A and B are shown apart, each in its own frame.
Chain A
Amino acid sequence: MGAPFDLSFVFSFLPKLLTTLSTTLLIVACSLLAGVIVGFIIALPRLYKVPVLKTLAEVYISFFRGTPILIQLFLFYYGLPEVLKLVNLDMTRTPVLVFVILTYGLHTGAFMSEMIRASVTAVDKGQVEAAYATGMTSYQAFTRIVLPQALGIAIPVFSNLVIALLKDTSLAFTLGVMEMTGKAQTLGSVTQHFIETYIALALIYLVISFTIEKLLLVAERRLLRHEDQGSPVKRKFSLQKKASYRHIIADMGPGKGGGA
């Protein structure tokens, strides 16, 4: 069971773990970027109901949502080089980090696409009609009217996705990437102070998650400032005034008990 518990190790491990923080954050940032791009590409055929592409997008989403991320990591790491060997592409020298970011990017992309689709659909159809009636093109209507409103609705979900991704990156050590969890494993084995390492590790994840959550909450308030109005009393008692609840209400149409 290792060495007896000693709290001072928690503090001495913190700076050691933090040296690998950049790797973790690099994986998160690159995967998020890839995820948003992939998410858009996957969401568009579903939003515009493009026949064949829509089905492909659905298959893609069910694969990445329906299988564990650990298995996806292994499949890409061991499977992709084999497939690419068939077209004479040698991937033996490609850094592991590339496979990790690729897998997390595609994985997050599936969830992002669902987020994008849900938030765009949640914007009232009348908004698009008004934009068209004003004489806007469909591109102008999307970028000027739909997107800014959809962003505000998407942020609570986005916040969850970022935090989930941050925690999921802890699995990258299984492929031998030296990110925070990998470092913790090594520290634990060397010192035999496993509990202390994991407490220190948990603290770091907690602080980052908390910071991300708060930052995105500020962004959400800003994006939804047009909704967050009314007298202080009304704000206190109205469920709808709290922006985070808005996505729950967003799916209900007016006149069906949803309230206008």
Chain B
Amino acid sequence: MIKLERISKSFGRHQVLNNIDLKVSKGEVVVILGPSGSGKTTLLRCVNYLEKPSGGEISIGEFKLDCRHARKKDIHQLRQKTAMVFQQYNLFRHKTALENVMEGLLIVKKLPKEEARKRSIALLEKVGLGSKLDAYPSQLSGGQQQRVGIARALALEPEVILFDEPTSALDPELVGEVLAVIRKIAKEGITMIVVTHEMGFARDVANHVVFMDGGVIVEEGTPTEVFNHPREERTKQFLKRITPELNYSI
């Protein structure tokens, strides 16, 4: 289980996150929604300490980290329990698809080369890229790059995978293939926290939806609760803008 308690973050005087509490159970898919600037990406990046929270606690299973006195060793340990899929894919540019997936297994998990290779090939086949093992990122389409990114995250067998707007940089045509892969691994019971603007995807896949605005969690609940019966005025406004009511007149 992943537990965030009283996570705060401010850039200078600007408070981006204000005492956020969030629980994610094992195998759960949590989708974070919200307008831009609401702090959802920052929150996600705080979970693996790419952004240093100003205060609060992060616990993953037995492991607990107090953000005010986090040591280098703790941060390193936290990062080994998480993996991230980036909006801009961020594949290692000088490595092939296969090497990208193998890198973490070899360097961080210290697996023997043959073992790492076998596992990486299996994962790339799973995301439908068995024929692109030796391609460099510059030779792959955005959708393919993002699928390598997902395979790279899966390879680490983390407690949770963090998805930071995984489809926002993609051509509309390529969004489908990436979402299909994420759906597939969600069904396998991998814990995920997803920041996205894909409402349809959130409705289908999420077990739990969180709506953020202005650095706080405004509303959370099951997809049905949040999408069909939002309680807060701010949530209603947001959903209305994202999914405009059909209003045709002839």
Residues of A in contact with B (beta carbons under 8 Å apart): 124, 126-127, 129-137, 140, 144-145, 148-149, 152, 226-227, 229-230, 260
**Would A133 and B103 be within 8 Å (CB), given that A149-B94, A226-B93, A227-B138 are in contact?**
no
Residue of B nearest to A223 (CB): B94
Task: Pick the residue among B82, B93, B95 that contacts A133 (CB under 8 A).
Answer: B82
Most interface-central of B84, B88, B92 (chain A CB within 10 A): B92
Task: Pick the residue among A136, A148, A226 that contacts B138 (CB under 8 A).
Answer: A226
**Contact at A133–B48, with CB atoms within 8 Å?**
yes
Mask for B72-88, Cβ within 8 A of A = 1, else 0?
00001001101110101
Alpha-carbon gap, A260 to B58, bound state (A): 34
**Would A134 and B76 be within 8 Å (CB), given that A226-B94, A226-B136, A229-B136 are in contact?**
no
- In the complex, besides A132-B50, A133-B50, A133-B86, 11 extra interface pairs with C-beta distance below 8 angstroms are A124-B93, A130-B92, A132-B79, A134-B108, A134-B156, A135-B80, A135-B108, A135-B156, A136-B104, A148-B94, A226-B138
Task: Pick the residue among A124, A127, A136, A226 that contacts B108 (CB under 8 A).
Answer: A136
Task: Pick the residue among B76, B90, B95 that contacts A129 (CB under 8 A).
Answer: B90
CB distance from B57 to the nearest CB of A (A): 20
B90 / chain A contacts, CB cutoff of 8 Å: 124, 126-127, 129-130
Alpha-carbon gap, A224 to B70, bound state (A): 38
A145 / chain B contacts, CB cutoff of 8 Å: 92, 94
**Contact at B83–A133, with CB atoms within 8 Å?**
yes
Is B141 part of the binding interface, using a Cβ–Cβ cutoff of 8 Å? no
Residues of B in contact with A (beta carbons under 8 Å apart): 48-50, 76, 79-80, 82-84, 86, 88, 90-96, 103-104, 107-108, 136-139, 152, 156, 162
A227 / chain B contacts, CB cutoff of 8 Å: 93, 136, 138
Q: Do most interface residues of chain A lie in helix, strand or loop, or is the interface mixed?
A: helix
B108 / chain A contacts, CB cutoff of 8 Å: 134-136, 140
CB distance from B62 to the nearest CB of A (A): 18
B156 / chain A contacts, CB cutoff of 8 Å: 134-135
**Contact at A144–B107, with CB atoms within 8 Å?**
yes
CB distance from B242 to the nearest CB of A (A): 24
**Contact at B50–A129, with CB atoms within 8 Å?**
yes
**Contact at A133–B79, with CB atoms within 8 Å?**
yes
**Contact at B93–A135, with CB atoms within 8 Å?**
no
A130 / chain B contacts, CB cutoff of 8 Å: 84, 86, 90-92
CB distance from B104 to the nearest CB of A (A): 4
**Contact at A137–B103, with CB atoms within 8 Å?**
no
Alpha-carbon gap, A235 to B111, bound state (A): 38
A152 / chain B contacts, CB cutoff of 8 Å: 94
Alpha-carbon gap, A124 to B90, bound state (A): 9
A124 / chain B contacts, CB cutoff of 8 Å: 90, 93
Alpha-carbon gap, A140 to B79, bound state (A): 14
Alpha-carbon gap, A135 to B80, bound state (A): 5
Alpha-carbon gap, A148 to B92, bound state (A): 10
Alpha-carbon gap, A152 to B95, bound state (A): 13
B137 / chain A contacts, CB cutoff of 8 Å: 226
Most interface-central of B80, B104, B156 (chain A CB within 10 A): B104
A135 / chain B contacts, CB cutoff of 8 Å: 76, 79-80, 104, 108, 156
Residue of B nearest to A130 (CB): B90
CB distance from B160 to the nearest CB of A (A): 12
Interface CB pairs A-B, < 8 A, 20? A127-B93, A129-B84, A129-B86, A129-B90, A133-B48, A133-B50, A134-B83, A134-B103, A134-B108, A135-B80, A136-B107, A136-B108, A137-B76, A140-B108, A149-B93, A152-B94, A226-B138, A227-B136, A227-B138, A260-B88
Alpha-carbon gap, A124 to B93, bound state (A): 10
Residue of B nearest to A131 (CB): B92
Residue of A nearest to B50 (CB): A129
Alpha-carbon gap, A134 to B138, bound state (A): 21
B82 / chain A contacts, CB cutoff of 8 Å: 133
Residue of A nearest to B142 (CB): A260
B107 / chain A contacts, CB cutoff of 8 Å: 134, 136, 140, 144
A140 / chain B contacts, CB cutoff of 8 Å: 107-108
CB distance from A249 to the nearest CB of B (A): 14
**Contact at A229–B138, with CB atoms within 8 Å?**
yes
**Contact at B94–A134, with CB atoms within 8 Å?**
no
Alpha-carbon gap, A221 to B238, bound state (A): 50
Most interface-central of A124, A144, A230 (chain B CB within 10 A): A144
B93 / chain A contacts, CB cutoff of 8 Å: 124, 127, 149, 226-227
CB distance from A246 to the nearest CB of B (A): 11
Alpha-carbon gap, A39 to B199, bound state (A): 51
**Contact at B136–A144, with CB atoms within 8 Å?**
no
